[in-house]
Amino acid sequence: MAKPSLAMIGMAVMGSNLAQNFAEKGYDIALFNRTAQRTQDVYEAARGEPYAARLHPVYGDLKELVALVGRSGTYFIMVKAGEPTQDVIDRLVPLLSGDAIVVDCSNAHYVDTMRRQQALRDKVRFFGIGVSGGEEGARHGPSIMAGGESRTIYDRRLKRALEAVAAKAPQDGSPCVAYLGTHGAGHYVKMVHNGIEYADMALIAEAYDFMRRVLGMGAPAIADIFERWNKGPLQSYLVEITADVLRQEDPSGKGYLVDHILDAAQMKGTGTWMVESSLAIGKGVVPVPGIYGAVESRAISARKAQRVAAAKLLPLKAKRFAGNRARILKDLERALYVAKVACYAQGIDLLQAADEEYGFGGLDLARIARIWRAGCIIRARFLDDIAEAYQKGPMPQSLMLAPAFRRIVLKDMASLTAVCVAAANAQVPAFVFDASRGFILQSSSAQASANLTQAQRDFFGAHTYERTDRKGVFHTEWSGDRKERPA
């Protein structure tokens, strides 16, 4: 039996599945959990598997784990982000030598990862990697976003193993894993992945609500539409599972399951982190209204009791659409695509700003799009086009201005407007569709309304303004002599 040089700490769903993935790909790996019983359960459950001999359960303490794997081994930590992760690091690192590799695979906040990278610099080689794809991904191939102190060490010690377990893009078989940059880069990119996931899900939910409440369609008919869309440019994991979800019958025999699920969304917080990060970039706010809208929309949904009470006092009832149904359904498909482009553009804007702010060392946007093509929750056909947009030639100022996407925005903006108008007329909210339309319009307006904002600020607070016709900074005595003076 070979001695493992890898260890997986944390035998919850993600850790146990990722460990089995490593074993299946030929890597001997030690299994460890805070409670030995859980390790034993995982090991027992995998006993009959052909890779079982490569799983090495450790039932004692971390010292026993290190005795087996070695002081300079590779330790993957897949426990809850935050304190539980910190606790493992605090107890593990003193047992290791300086060339041991410690990899935090949790959904850690990038600021924690940056801090840990700094704190552990002289103690071990620390990496923070984002793993996407849920249970199925962890077991059979997730998308992996890696960050850490050194690309050289990554290439030498982690690359091969991570490429073995990562998902393979169906287009070209390339592994969906990459070293993306220093310290928090991996977890930052994973956070942006999740923010985009929120927006993607919100847009799909709004399209569903539009078909349900504006067009009066039932779950199976809506499933047919999503299934059809999944054969075109919208092809994606989230659209695909939406059709499946909508077809699921209620186990208690009352029609369709989706119609009986409480309409109050929860969230673990990564979408909110993305919004917070967009507000904290030194050079100024990076607008991410689609992601913000998705977070807000979940938050409003969670206030179920207040909504029910308000519905009685503000009976703004949904109204049915009376126009051409075939046409509005076509518009809806196009609107979903354009709005999705706007939300991805916001994610990419933030990645670029954060790269500058935190010095990740040059995030490769084409590479990021490519490693999102399989394994992760936002995997989608159009990621190939995003990769292409950032692959060669001059970098577009925004995804929406890359030639392929610019053409689509120009062609389909009218559809997005038609959907927003139809939803508004029907009194059905379309938060993220509206936010996407506003973002596209405002981002491409040569003339904004901020001249008035600047004038108001100068009026009440002497905050000064610049002029369009002359260089300089000015202030006007709005209620005094009404003279304008250089500030």
Instruction: Report the interface residues with ligand 6PG, using CB under 6 A.
Output: 107, 132-134, 194, 197, 266-268, 270, 376-377
Rounded to 5 degrees, what are φ and ψ at 380? Answer: -160, 155
Beta carbon nearer to ligand 6PG, 377 or 387: 377
Beta carbon nearer to ligand 6PG, 28 or 104: 104
Would you put residue 57 in left (φ > 0), alpha (ψ -120 to 50) or beta? Answer: beta
Minimal distance, residue 152 CB to ligand 6PG, in Å: 28
Minimal distance, residue 270 CB to ligand 6PG, in Å: 5
C-alpha closest to that of 403 among 340, 341, 330: 341
Beta carbon nearer to ligand 6PG, 270 or 398: 270
Long-range CB contacts (within 8 A, 24+) of 152-156: 153/101, 153/125, 154/127, 154/179, 155/179
Beta carbon nearer to ligand 6PG, 197 or 333: 197
Helix (H, G, I), strand (E, B) or coil at 109: coil
Helix pair 219-229, 237-247: axis angle to 10 deg: 160
Query: What is the side-by-side order of every strand in the sheet holding 29-32?
Result: 55-57, 29-32, 6-9, 74-77, 101-104, 125-132, 143-148, 177-181
Minimal distance, residue 195 CB to ligand 6PG, in Å: 10
C-alpha closest to that of 32 among 53, 54, 10: 10
Beta carbon nearer to ligand 6PG, 134 or 361: 134
| Distances in whole angstroms, Cα of residue 417 to Cα of each of 28, 337, 414, 438 | 55, 13, 5, 10
Any idea which residues carry the catalytic annotation?
Answer: 190, 197
Helix, strand, coil shares of the chain, percent, nearest 5, are 55, 10, 35
Minimal distance, residue 89 CB to ligand 6PG, in Å: 20
Minimal distance, residue 134 CB to ligand 6PG, in Å: 5
